[in-house]
Structure 1
Amino acid sequence: MSGRVLPCSPREIGSLFLFEELSDEQLGRLCAAGRVMGFEPGPVYAEGEPATCFYVLIEGAVALSRRVGGDDVEVVRSAQRGVYGGAVQAYLGDRVRQVYNNSMRVTEPTRFFVLPADTFADIMREWFPMAVHLLEGLFFGSKSTQAAIGQRERLLALGSLSAGLTHELNNPAAAAVRATAALRERVAKMRHKLAVIAEGPFSRDQLAHLIEIQERTAERVAKAHSLSPLETADREDAVTDWLEEHGVAGAWQAAPVFVQAGLDVDWLEQVAAAVDEEILPGAVGWLSYTVETELLMDEIADSTTRVSGLVAAAKQYSQLDRAPYQVADVHELLDSTLLMLSGKTGPRIEVVKKYDRTLPRVPAYPAELNQVWTNLIDNAVAAIGYAGGEGTLTVRTAREGDRLLVEFRDTGPGVPPEIRDRIFDPFFTTKPVGRGTGLGLDISWRIVVNKHHGTIRLESVPGDTRFQVLLPLTAPDGDGTAPDTTSAPAPSPVPEEPA
């Protein structure tokens, strides 16, 4: 919106607190370099546009807003003479992207003193060189500090995830090693038993029939299904009795193996019908090695599949081989994060997934969304820990208008009302000293709001705390890309007044 140019009075400009210490000569230069502009109610500038002017309120009222998702959220409203906004960081030059960080509108006829950004920068450097150096140091020092601590936050999360992943990988890997050693022993015994059978009184037809039974046994093991504890106990008793009745040594050891493989008395009867009674114990012993071998191979297959699944989840979580920005399945991201954090949730926290699988894929930075999920799950686990360590974490997805909702709900003690307005502030944390940096939710806010043009919000009562992330279903600019603005600051009350 363009305003009308009005006369500039050095005396009036000098009455504003920003300029009250300036000399008459300096005030005259300001009036010559700048201008007074009048605006009717309506917009003055929009967030994201090139920051071309520095505005100081002379009279009237202004309202500033930030874009959150598809909405403009008012962050401050002021009628205080001298408040300022616009190109407030022009003195930093090209080292910072010079765009308006908010949108300004006036709510009544309003006058501003307006300086072009370049002129404002030149005057700052000429009149206040020490102040400019101090401000530059504060600005870049703050960014460096925040970046360093943000990196530490990511490293802490990575260390925790690595520890959890190592624990999760160790179990199936150790199982595979144990099963491999046992398999080698069983195969050696099977070779010995086969030699004994070959030297025994087996006819050619009996051996052929026994081998056929062995093949059918292997197929049956592959199709075995789990039994209830009561069914398992009853079948083991029946198999043990049968083996003892037919003179098979070590019946009580062989019975659980047969039952685990899905074999029963009917199967044993088929074996008995295939061989003579005097060689039945040897045939059953040989088949027991077959069963054990199949079970061990199944255990190795399950373990290595588990390892492969964990590696795939780690790969999905890290997004190492993926484009930074892509159309992603939120459920895949959530699953990989939950798997990576399974060591943290442990057996005492029940994880419930309530996914709406009909939701479409969304344009996103998947690796950074995984960081958001990690922070929110970590907070939920910590909250449940404060409540005794047992509880439920519910992860829900749904459609809310033109946005996708991801909700993390925990049964912890809740967020006290007096700190809810501060939880997204940098360095604010309720965790014990050394347990948190206070940047997890701040980083999450920046990723969701600044980078994905989404919304993150909190609803909390004791026993029911919900962090809700809302993501646009389509790219904000319609061309499949999103601007990288993670470093943009969270909303702050601008224009500002000196303390």
Structure 2
Amino acid sequence: MMTDQIHEKDEFSDPGGIWKTATAKCSLVSTYIVFLLLATMISFCGFGWFAWRLYGEFRDSDNRYNQITELNKRISNLDKALAFMIHTSVETGYLDYTEFHNELEGQLNSAIQELRDLAPKTFETQALGAVSGAKSELLRMEHQVFQLVGLGNSKAALHLLESDNYVEQKSVYMDNLKQYGQDLAKLTIAESTKKQKMALGVILVGFIELLLVSHASFANQIRKRITERKEASDVISAAYRDLQNTNRELIETQAQIIQNEKLAAIGQLAAGVAHEMNTPVGFVASNFETMENYLNKFLSLLSAYEKLAEEIAETPGENDLLSKIDHITKLKDELKIDFILEDIELLFSDSKEGLGRVIDIIKSLKDFARIDEIQEMHEYSLGDGIRSTLVVARNELKHCVRVKTELSDIPKVSCHSGQINQVFLNLLLNAAQAIQTMQREEKGLITIKTYSTENEVVCEIADDGPGIPAESLSKIFDPFFTTKPAGKGTGLGLSVSHDIIVKKHKGTIHVDSVVDQGTTFTIKLPLGREIKEENGEVIYHEHENCVVCR
């Protein structure tokens, strides 16, 4: 029994070793887990800090690349704007563009300096040195161009702009500036790629570590993504606002170009209109001078009659009375009173006709320019516009062309009448100038035809001039493109006409030409639509019973 008790005690009374071992193992595991968690947290914090730093550097590099790209675009646009301003100043002879040119030059210098500020201090290239030299030479030549324009020597200014030296310096300036921007962008991309690779490596290790920690890090990443999305949305909103501002500035610039071209056209016609008005005004003035002389003669005769009447009342003698009557009769014959009475009627008739011509010219000029109306679209007859434009341009056309009109009874269209008249004037003057270049003995012929279809009104202006070469037809509506000799045109007339018809009135303008046979411009404007303008944009409202094909 004692033996059994002893065995029983040995089996059940000493479990402490097992519990101690288990406790030791559990303690070791707990310590390992705690150590692992602590090591993981410390490692994750280190990786997180390093990854965040790399990510910040990567974002800085990416932002710097975006800034460099934007600055390259801005520099290119500013250079184009500078070229546009200086060419416009040379072509039009206006010095008002000088101040705007200087402002753009300052913006360009500021953009270049911003580009240099984005580059590392050790980043200097040969391209930058070439840019500095070419810039100095360009500034000198452009200053000389504005001096020539100020002296009225636009031809010499244009020659300087088109000189090989200017073109070469311009090419050196822009090519090297572009190369500098590209090199800087490549350097930034390389830095960004390096940071990106390092960041990806750290992120990969961190992701492995992330499996050992709580989901709090995942929530933090979500919040970070939301913040980035919000920042991207803010950037897009800012870019959209900038785009709206740029679009508004472009609309204002386009309106100013149209106004300048219209003023140039009116200036070109001023001498002709003055000549047309000078002829009737001249013979009206001459008629009134003649009538003043006639009136003095009538007053002399009337004075003699009054004197005779007084003497009749005082003189009883019949012989003296007959003698004085005979004297007055001779005076009447000497003064040619009968002729004067007939001529006065003719003088008044001629004067009335001359004043009528002056009134017609003034009315046509007002109808052409529409200077007394608000700048809104209204119903307008193309036939009236063509007739007014022909009166205004008569002196420019009558010496070299005959004008044949076939104006149908067409519906009125909603339009800017002054702008439509400007298009007619541009096309008529271009046709007349083209015919003049042929130096023919007989006059050329311009044919103007109007008609309407179900959805639009059509105006065709055809001439029998030299025509336009096929290689020039595709560029005929481009700004500053002209087939005229240097100094004979700005190259904006057809470009402005295209913008007026297509952009302002949603119509079409088409040109057909055969060399040595002539050119035909066809203008089509839509019917059956109410037109409104909002913020410089043309908006059409279709009538319910109208079908317009476009």
TM-score by length of 2: 0.48
Alignment of 1:403-418 (within 5 A): 403-418=456-471
| 1:344 paired residue among 396, 402, 413 | 396
Structure 1 residue matching 2:466: 3-state secondary structure: coil
| 2:282 paired residue among 174, 196, 207 | 174
Deviation readout 1:1-36 (Å, 9 max, x if unpaired): xxxxxxxxxxxxxxxxxxxxxxx989x99xxxxxxx
Matched, 1:298 2:313: no
Matched, 1:472 2:501: no
Structure 2 residue matching 1:422: 3-state secondary structure: coil
| 2:412 paired residue among 361, 364, 368 | 361
The amino acid across from 1:304 in the alignment is L
Alignment of 1:120-199 (within 5 A): 125-126=66-67, 128-138=69-79, 141=82, 150=257, 153-193=261-301
Q: Aligned residue pairs: how many?
A: 292
**Alignment correspondent of 1:315:** 366
Q: Distance in 1 between matches of 2:67 and 2:474?
A: 40
The amino acid across from 2:522 in the alignment is Q
Contact (CA 8 Å) 2:450, 2:458: kept in 1 or not? yes
Structure 1 residue matching 2:520: 3-state secondary structure: strand
Structure 2 residue matching 1:438: 3-state secondary structure: coil
Q: Distance in 1 between matches of 2:366 and 2:425?
A: 15
Distance 1:123 1:298, change over 3 A: farther
Contact (CA 8 Å) 1:451, 1:483: kept in 2 or not? no
Distance 1:127 1:481, change over 3 A: closer
Richer in strand (by share): 1
Alignment of 1:445-484 (within 5 A): 445-461=498-514, 462-475=516-529, 478=530, 480-481=532-533, 484=536
Deviation readout 1:417-468 (Å, 9 max, x if unpaired): 2211111111111111100111111111011000000100112223332111
| Aligned-residue offset at 1:196 | 6.3
| 1:421 paired residue among 474, 478, 482 | 474
**Alignment correspondent of 1:58:** none
| Aligned-residue offset at 1:146 | 8.1
The amino acid across from 1:318 in the alignment is A
Alignment of 1:284-295 (within 5 A): 285-295=336-346
| 2:486 paired residue among 414, 433, 444 | 433
Distance 1:409 1:123, change over 3 A: farther
Structure 2 residue matching 1:128: 3-state secondary structure: helix
The amino acid across from 1:438 in the alignment is G
**Alignment correspondent of 1:61:** none
| Aligned-residue offset at 1:198 | 8.3
Distance 1:333 1:301, change over 3 A: same
Contact (CA 8 Å) 1:189, 1:289: kept in 2 or not? no
Moved more, 335-344 or 388-397: 388-397
Q: Distance in 2 between matches of 1:381 and 1:438?
A: 16
The amino acid across from 2:523 in the alignment is V
Q: Distance in 2 between matches of 1:436 and 1:169?
A: 26
Matched, 1:376 2:484: no
More relative contact order in 1 or in 2 (CA 8 Å, sep 6+)? 1
Alignment of 1:10-49 (within 5 A): none
CA RMSD of aligned residues (A): 3.5
Deviation readout 1:108-142 (Å, 9 max, x if unpaired): xxxxxxxxxxxx9x898545342243245246557
Contact (CA 8 Å) 2:275, 2:395: kept in 1 or not? yes
**Alignment correspondent of 1:333:** 385
Structure 2 residue matching 1:395: 3-state secondary structure: strand
Q: Distance in 2 between matches of 1:280 and 1:482?
A: 79
Q: Distance in 1 between matches of 2:524 and 2:272?
A: 28
**Alignment correspondent of 2:39:** none
The amino acid across from 2:362 in the alignment is V
Deviation readout 1:85-129 (Å, 9 max, x if unpaired): xxxxxxxxxxxxxxxxxxxxxxxxxxxxxxxxxxx9x89854534
Q: Distance in 1 between matches of 2:65 and 2:364?
A: 53
**Alignment correspondent of 1:224:** none
Deviation readout 1:305-343 (Å, 9 max, x if unpaired): 111111111111111111322111212211121111111
Gaps of at least 5 residues in structure 1 are 1-23, 30-119, 202-278, 487-499
Q: % of aligned pairs identical?
A: 27
Q: Distance in 2 between matches of 1:479 and 1:130?
A: 40
